[in-house]
Amino acid sequence: MKDTIGYLGPKGTFTKIAVDSMFNGESKKGFSTIPECIDAVVNDEVTYAVLPLENAIEGTVNITLDYLIQAENINIVSEVIVPIRQHLMVHPDNVNEWSKLDAIYSHSHAIAQCHRFIHKDLQQVKSHSMTSTGAAAEFVSKNPDQRIGAIANHLAAKEYGLSIVQKDIHDFDNNHTRFVVLHKAKKVLTSKNLEEKGRKTTVTVTLPSDQPGALHQVLSAFAWRNLNLSKIESRPMKTGLGNYYFLIDIEQQMDDVLIPNAITEMESLGCKVSVLGSYPYYLHSGNGVTLAV
């Protein structure tokens, strides 16, 4: 049976750009929220789900991480990093009104990536959070009678017939987002389209409670094996203040010795460790302008 790819939709989202760079002929299905998309993989409605995990300016997309941790038997099987360019767009009827907008709509991460621009050029304009930048663009296209704009990418402008009135409004140039490909089976999904940049293994570690130096010992399990870490982040376990787990990215694929032994060492310290995936990562080659759809 043909694979189906679920993604944070509708069409015109950055996630759709990630999907199109990774997959070719498969059927693609947009979901309005990240939890719905993760549920779709859990319930076998789709084979893979592609979701944003981390942005270079705004940090982790918490909802993806939190649902991924809670969903059982869902693995990261691949990752694509996409350059992010944010534009301000309005309905063509409102092009001359763009500096007098009443409100702007976008995904909360996109709004956060454009804070300086909004503060400087759109002071007093209300920002409204939507489920995605694509959903915001669609909403603006359906409400030409309102003086509103969307922050989204150039494909969303094309998809929903909007006019870009301010280009590249993100605050920092080096704006990238990591999109993960999720799947039920533990496997490695390689891309036919993109050049592999390396391999990563992502683990979560829960420390034993009230043990001084536990995090130090966890880090030394990696350090003395010369395992390079590219991310370590603490997230609340949602069981009470002060209870955290750590998400750790190791810059190499799962092997037979080093990572398994580091895990055994952490477990012997009383930590709970689970492997979210060991997978290749890719860099989307385009600069956000030329993309196959």
Ligand X SMILES: O=C(O)C(=O)Cc1ccccc1
Note the residues at the interface with ligand X (CB under 6 A): 8, 13-15, 52, 55, 84, 107, 109-110, 132-134, 177
Least Å distance between CB 216 and ligand X? 34
Half-sphere exposure of 94 (CA within 13 A, CB side): 26
Number of CB atoms found within 10 A of residue 191's CB: 18
Nearer to ligand X, 52 or 277 (CB): 52
Nearer to ligand X, 154 or 200 (CB): 154
Q: Tokens in use for 55?
A: 């942005």
Nearer to ligand X, 60 or 133 (CB): 133
Least Å distance between CB 14 and ligand X? 4
Least Å distance between CB 194 and ligand X? 18
Number of CB atoms found within 10 A of residue 65's CB: 20
Least Å distance between CB 129 and ligand X? 10
Least Å distance between CB 21 and ligand X? 13
User: CA-to-CA distance for 88 and 151, rounded, in angstroms?
Assistant: 5
Reduced to 3 states (helix: H, G, I; strand: E, B; else coil), residue 134 is: helix
Percent of the chain as helix, strand, coil, to the nearest 5: 30, 35, 35
Nearer to ligand X, 130 or 165 (CB): 130
Number of CB atoms found within 10 A of residue 1's CB: 4
Nearer to ligand X, 82 or 227 (CB): 82
- The answer to whether 282 and 195 have CB atoms below 8 angstroms apart is yes
Nearer to ligand X, 85 or 259 (CB): 85
Least Å distance between CB 224 and ligand X? 37
Residue type at position 63: I
Nearer to ligand X, 54 or 265 (CB): 54
Least Å distance between CB 41 and ligand X? 17
Sheet strands (E) in the chain: 4-8, 27-31, 48-55, 59-60, 75-83, 87-90, 103-107, 126-130, 148-152, 163-166, 176-183, 196-206, 229-236, 244-250, 272-283
Strand 48-55 and strand 4-8: pairing?
A: parallel
